[in-house]
Structure 1
Amino acid sequence: MTRNPDSSGMARAAPDDRNDRFATLTFDRDVAAPLAVLWEAWTAPAARAIWAAPSPSVTVEFLEADTRVGGREVSLCKVDGHPDIRCECGWLVLQPEMHSVNYEVISSEGMTQSVALVTADFEGADERSRLVVTVQLSSLAEDMEAGYREGFGAGLDNLAGAAERTMVLQRVIQAPRSIVWGAWMNPETLPQWWGPEGFSCRTKRIDLRTGGEWVFDMIAPDGTVFPNHHLYHEVLPEERIGYTLLWGENGPKHADAWASFEDRDGATKVTLGMVFSTAAEFQEAKGFNAEELGMQTLGKLERFVASR
């Protein structure tokens, strides 16, 4: 979670009152999204990259992200005229849709500014959920409490907004993860199953790697053509894909998306997530049953791998 450099400042001498170095902060958010969606928004690297910056003046660059127990996330927080702030997050506990614990180390110009233990608890019912985050903060180079309160609070506000325009689809496919991944990340096979029932794909260009793209038309049963452009910014073999959806070649952004693949005793749990660019686009997608159409797509994937 990125802190707000505008309020926390850069590294300075330690305060005289050493008791000022320690603080326990609590943040509470009610979110108009299902619990599974809020959990994905909290943990999925592609989603975290969307809501991490506390203000428009801050740019966050993710250098690495490994969201599993023992994994870590490293990002740089950039503001014009200030040194970069480095944030290292290490995941200690991940209990899906219930509880997470991570450590966080903030540094700038090689000097550690703070360390923290971040505990998040989740609960939910139907289309609403609740997140309570407790931060046990130890400031080192300076008093970081004010910066944490502002930056963490703003980040969680962003998280709530992102979760409320996020769609998450999940399906357990009865095939090994290597087979499912191979069907998804093969330029010959992906167009064969992608899309809802009755739709077909007409590919213009396809390059399934980090920095690659897929430019294609989806063709509905009635012949209607829907131009698409996927830009791949992360490909982690057999684990996850992060990509951007555009309305047609080099068109406006429609959504930021990710797909993750988890081994389930020889089967594969596939999670497909999309953070729509605006709340209006999310509601429009809900209106034309995008969730059902997406589940049809995952069903076609399952049938495709079963036939191989």
Structure 2
Amino acid sequence: MKNRTTVERKSERELVVTRTFDGPTRIVFEAWTRPELFRQWWVPKSMGMLLRSCEMDVRVGGGYRLVFGQDAATAMAFFGKYLEVIPNARLVWTNEESDDAAVTTVTFEEKGGKTLLVLRELYPSKQALDAAGTGAADAMPEQFEQLDELLVTLGASAGRS
């Protein structure tokens, strides 16, 4: 059976996305923290956009900057700082591209060789979450499918080493 992504609005300010991935937390965590892996799955292919730049300094106080777009004229940047980094267990970062941006927390929990991933976005207000709309939440199931595909290739290559 295929893994399913659930997206729920848990409160006026919080959105929670949950999915189980077929792979150990170590590999799933690497896919979230190594730019060369992250750029392979983060942008939904159906959007037809490119991840033009992916900078990640994954440590407490370190920053990230992601630039999306068809070309330089349409590019959009997303950026922030890492507040908490617990290898193979938890990532917390700010989203600083707007005044109403969320703080994102991702937890990784290993269960029988699989990883239960829970992503929480906490917005400063109900209005901020309403304004964010469902765009990102709508994209996450496709993003997570792409991550599943990447994990298959990473698992296959890990098995050969």
Please tell me whether the aligned partners of residues 31 and 38 of structure 2 are also in contact (alpha carbons under 8 angstroms): yes
Distance 1:205 1:183 in 2: 14
- Give the alignment's TM-score, normalised by structure 1: 0.43
> Who is 1:268 aligned against?
115
Distance 1:185 1:209 in 2: 10
Q: CA RMSD in A?
A: 2.3
Distance 2:70 2:143 in 1: 13
> Who is 1:291 aligned against?
137
- Give the alignment's TM-score, normalised by structure 2: 0.78
Distance 1:225 1:195 in 2: 13
Structure with bigger RCO (C-alpha 8 Å, 6+ apart): 2
Distance 1:233 1:195 in 2: 23
1:258 matches 2:82: no
> Who is 2:66 aligned against?
216
Among the aligned pairs, what percent are the same residue? 25
Give the letter for the 2:24 counterpart: P
Distance 1:201 1:299 in 2: 17
Please tell me whether the aligned partners of residues 218 and 227 of structure 1 are also in contact (alpha carbons under 8 angstroms): yes
Within 5 Å, which residues of 2 pair with 1:85-96? none
More strand by share: 1
> Who is 1:170 aligned against?
18
> Who is 1:21 aligned against?
none
Distance 1:219 1:278 in 2: 28
Distance 2:78 2:15 in 1: 18
Please tell me whether the aligned partners of residues 262 and 270 of structure 1 are also in contact (alpha carbons under 8 angstroms): yes
In the TM superposition, residue 203 of structure 1 has moved relative to its aligned partner by 2.2
More helix by share: 2
Within 5 Å, which residues of 2 pair with 1:21-40? 38=10
In the TM superposition, residue 207 of structure 1 has moved relative to its aligned partner by 0.8
Q: Are residues 200 and 264 of structure 1, via their aligned partners in 2, closer, same or farther at CA, if it must alter by over 3 Å?
A: farther
The equivalent position to 1:201 in structure 2, one of 34, 51, 68, is 51
Distance 1:219 1:265 in 2: 38
How many residues are matched?
A: 144
In the TM superposition, residue 293 of structure 1 has moved relative to its aligned partner by 0.9
In the TM superposition, residue 253 of structure 1 has moved relative to its aligned partner by 5.0
